[in-house]
Structure formats: structure tokens, C-alpha cells
Amino acid sequence: MSNSQPVVIRLLDREYTVGCEPAERDSLLSAAKLLDSKMREIRGSNRMAALDRVAVLAALNFAHELQQLRDEGEDRDRELTRTIGDLNRKLDGLFDSAPR
């Protein structure tokens, strides 16, 4: 059963009410603050920039950053897998050559 409660967030001086679980409220407010900051950065001094364009560009920026983090994580995972494989082969070599 959902215990969703209304939370008011502000983006570029506009208020939006969204439903949110109480345990997720602080995280939502933090995300809204981050999004507002990114949108203000994109809008810059052009106060007449269309809100939908600013929002799409902010979303695209965040999606790109997320994709980069995922790619980096996959690279780390591959490197870790390779290193563990190398260590396992070395251990196998040590056990195979140990006197019995």
C-alpha cells in the first residue's frame, strides 16, 4: 500500500507538486535542487529561454552523465574480472607446483 504524500518542489521559480514516499522526500528535494541548478546553468542570462527546451537540455545532460558513469563502472568491472582471473591463475600455478 502506497503512503505517497504531496511534496512541493521549485524549478526555475515554478512550483510543482509531486507524490513521494516519506522515506524518499529528502532525496527528491535534493534531486530537485540539483535539477534546478542545472536548469539555471543552462538558461544562463537568457531569461526568455523556453522552459521545455531548458528542461530537455538538463535531462539530456544528466542522461549523458549517467551513461558515462555506467560505462566507467563497466570498465572497472571488466578490469576487476581480469585481475581476479590473473590472480586465480597464479594461485592455481602455485598449488599445482607445491610439493604433496
Domain regions of the chain by residue span: 5-97
Grid cell locating 44: 544562463
CA R_g for the chain: 24
**pLDDT of the residue at 83:** 96
Higher pLDDT pick, 100 / 16 = 16
Specify the CATH number for 5-97; select among 3.40.1160.10, 3.40.50.1950, 3.30.160.880, 3.40.50.620: 3.30.160.880
pLDDT at 94 over 90: no
Helices and strands in the chain: count of H runs, count of E runs: 2, 2
What average pLDDT score do residues 69-83 get? 95
Can you say how many angstroms the Cα of residue 70 is from the centroid of all Cα atoms in its chain? 9
**pLDDT of the residue at 47:** 81
Count the residues in the chain.
Answer: 100
pLDDT band at 99 (very low <50, low <70, confident <90, very high): confident
